Amino acid sequence: MTDQLALDRKVSTYGWLCLLAGLLGAASGIYLAVVSPAVADDQWSYPLTPTGFTWIQLWFVVQHVGLVLGLLAVWSAGVVGRSGLGRSGHVLAVGGMVGLTLTELAAIAARNDDMDTTRVAVFGAVYGVVSVASGVGLIMEGVAARREGVWDGWQRWLLLAMGVWVFVPMFPALALSFLGARLAITGWMLLFAALGWALVRSSRTDPMR
């Protein structure tokens, strides 16, 4: 019972951190969507100055930690079970998000670059790879969660929705426009906030408490 209580508290704590990170990530996306551009739109740091870009990338690194903790809590809570599908999906989802976090940090190196530099092209490709890994992992976890049935109602579909969102609408939005991309990422962050809330709710209603 003591071990279960400790696990329950861990899931709840990570859930709250994921909820907060998701909401703050959504707020950041809206900010970038509405802030007055300080540089031309052919700059990697757009719409911020290189200094502003550096600070917001550092903020994203901190904010992404909360998202990683939420994904770790999904496994701890037993939502996706212990099947090969759930395990593989978990590794991909967490690995993709960790990769995304590290890429946010590394991208600061291109803060003064134009969009057509080789370095920017490399970062764009890396962003794509880690996002695909995260999206595929979430879809796999979503399928596993559906099979396990630990969550019901809207929560049962949440991980699957988070994974699908990466491919539709986020990827098309990223290719079409800056504003669309920011809004699509904002939506993804709100799904992470919902994941945090689902984790908090599941820890509170755990019959082992």
Q: Which two tokens stand for residue 189?
A: 């962050």
Is residue 208 over pLDDT 60? no
pLDDT of residue 103: 98
37-45 average pLDDT score = 97
Within a domain: residue 209? no
80 lies in which domain range? 2-204
CATH number at residue 104: 1.20.1070
Start-to-end C-alpha separation, the chain: 8
Alpha helix ranges (H) inside 77-177: 84-106, 118-148, 155-165, 171-176
Flag whether pLDDT at 207 surpasses 50. Answer: no
Mean pLDDT of 77-92: 95
Burial class, 168, CB count within 10 angstroms (exposed 0-12 / middle 13-18 / buried 19+): exposed
pLDDT in tens, 124-157: 999 999 999 999 999 999 999 999 999 999 999 9
- What is the band of 1 on the pLDDT scale with cuts at 50, 70, 90? low
Domain count, the chain: 1
More confident residue, 202 or 40: 40
Q: For residues 48-77, b (16+ Cβ closer than 10 Å) or e, as one string?
A: bbbeebbebbeebbebbbbbbbbbbbbbeb
Residue 8 lies in a domain: yes
| Residue 37 within a domain | yes
**pTM assigned to the model:** 0.95
Residue 35 domain-assigned? Answer: yes
